[in-house]
């Protein structure tokens, strides 16, 4: 959730990000260890929102604008934040509000007869008339930093909760003659917080719906928008089709005319134009060139590299291997640590024996090679161009170009008496 908030802040060109942490602080810092634009402030005791901002006060500059966000309000949009920042001047601050049918638990926006904001009253401190107000405080505001330095040290915790409320800054601003200009987001969900798993799931659904909408605006045919999950960054070409129960994770690129059939998981993969991924296939850290045919029930593991027109069929697993242009790995096959040339055919049940229990070794299969069904290729080994391996063979030595290799026991047909059940 915090990553979403930080990404939004970065998109409005924040000079510095200040994250107030408490319980689990070290886990938060570890998660963002690679970020060099974050200052951390520790709030050892949780004494309210005003107290939290006080912890970061010494790290703030003396001037400029401070934008106050919340780590458990993950879906705030950068455009909303930019509009809020633009409201701020030496004599004005910006406050994000939202109208709610059921405002229970939220602070209410109190206005005078001229509809100017005069204060924010917390739910537990509100009078019956104030509880009837439906305009609510989101807690998100943009303030002249100089004013924060002056106001925060004077906050009081004389209230029902015994906490230092950041909302008291609004009354301070009014008393100092400043204007509190309000802004409402395009979507109320931008301001929703996550306090339990139910709220998290509700926001996730809204987030997914917006991402799927963006794909459809880009021209993707999504057969059921409610049954596609996007968990990363997806780029698409023209006329892409995505069927139901598909999960796209990490960085995924789908070229023109790509078709993803039902129940596929695709993670950190590039899939070029015209490729079809059939049902129940799993693809991770893989490259698929144009016009490939994958699945159903195929698994492409990290390092799988399918060249143009390659085919990987049902119940096949490819790991750290190249499947050359036009080559076929059709059925019940494992190809690991291998390089397959062009127009090769790998028969059903073939495996590359790439691991001796300690080290991995490579198998090389040349252009036009034919590997008969149920063969085991014990790496390191090379099968030459246009070579053939007879079905059921165990190949432990290199096979030269155009040769036939047969590595199996000789068949014997013996006379015998079949046992019968007593």
Judge whether 299 and 277 are in contact, CB under 8 Å.
no
Q: Which of 4, 149, 331, 339 is catalytic?
A: 331
* Greatest pairwise CA separation for the chain in angstroms: 109
The answer to whether the bond into 320 is cis (omega within 30° of 0) is no
**Residue 51 pairs with which residues in a beta bridge?**
none
Provide the sign of the torsion angle of the four alpha carbons 93, 96, 101, 106, taken in this order.
Answer: negative
**Which H or E element spans position 210?**
helix 197-217
**Residue 323 pairs with which residues in a beta bridge?**
306, 340
Judge whether 318 and 339 are in contact, CB under 8 Å.
no
C-alpha separations of 363 from 20, 315, 386, 398, 399 in Å: 53, 20, 16, 10, 11
DSSP per-residue string spanning 231-299: EEEEEE-SS-EE-SSEEEEEEEEE-TT-EE-SS-EEEEEEE-TT-EE-TT-EEES-EE-TT-EE-SS-E
- The answer to whether 331 is a known catalytic residue is yes
Rounded Cα gap, residues 131 and 106, in angstroms: 9
Judge whether 337 and 318 are in contact, CB under 8 Å.
no
Token representation of residue 265? 């998981």
Q: What is the set of active-site residues? A: 331
């Amino acid at each position: 959730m915090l990553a979403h908030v930080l990404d939004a802040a970065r998109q409005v060109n924040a000079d510095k990000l200040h994250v107030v942490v408490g319980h689990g602080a070290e886990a938060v810092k570890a998660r963002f260890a690679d970020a060099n634009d974050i200052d951390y402030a520790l709030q050892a005791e949780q004494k309210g929102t005003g107290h939290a901002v006080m912890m970061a006060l010494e790290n703030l500059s003396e001037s400029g604008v401070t934008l106050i966000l919340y780590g458990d309000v993950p879906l705030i949009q950068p455009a909303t934040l930019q509009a809020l920042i633009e409201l701020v001047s030496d004599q004005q601050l910006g406050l994000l509000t939202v109208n709610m049918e059921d405002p229970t638990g939220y602070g209410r926006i109190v206005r005078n007869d001229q509809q100017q904001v005069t204060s924010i009253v917390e739910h537990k401190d509100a009078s019956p008339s104030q509880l009837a107000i439906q305009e609510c405080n989101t807690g998100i505001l943009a303030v002249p930093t100089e004013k924060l330095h002056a106001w925060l040290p004077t906050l009081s915790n004389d209230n029902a909760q015994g906490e230092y409320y950041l909302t008291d800054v609004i009354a301070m601003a009014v008393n100092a003659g400043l204007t509190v200009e309000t802004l409402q987001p395009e979507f109320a969900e931008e301001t929703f917080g996550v306090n339990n798993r139910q709220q998290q799931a509700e926001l996730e659904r809204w987030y997914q719906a917006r991402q799927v909408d963006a794909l459809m605006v880009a021209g993707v045919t999504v057969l059921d928008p409610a049954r596609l999950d996007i968990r990363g960054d997806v780029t698409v070409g023209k006329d892409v089709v995505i069927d139901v129960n598909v999960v796209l994770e990490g960085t995924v690129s789908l070229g023109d005319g790509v078709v993803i059939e039902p129940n596929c998981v695709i993670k950190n993969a590039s899939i070029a134009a015209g490729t079809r991924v059939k049902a129940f296939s799993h693809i991770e850290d893989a490259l698929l060139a144009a016009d490939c045919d994958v699945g159903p029930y195929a698994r492409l593991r990290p390092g799988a590299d399918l060249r143009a027109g390659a085919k990987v069929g049902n119940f096949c697993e490819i790991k750290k291997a190249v499947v050359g242009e036009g080559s076929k790995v059709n059925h019940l096959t494992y190809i690991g640590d291998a390089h397959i040339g062009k127009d090769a055919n790998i028969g059903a049940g073939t495996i590359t024996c790439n691991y001796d229990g300690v080290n991995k070794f490579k198998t090389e299969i040349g252009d036009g090679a034919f590997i008969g069904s149920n063969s085991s290729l014990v790496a390191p080994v090379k099968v030459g161009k246009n070579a053939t391996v007879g079905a059921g063979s165990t190949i432990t030595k290199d096979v030269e170009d155009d040769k036939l290799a047969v590595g199996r026991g000789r068949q014997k047909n013996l006379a015998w008496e079949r046992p019968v059940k007593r």
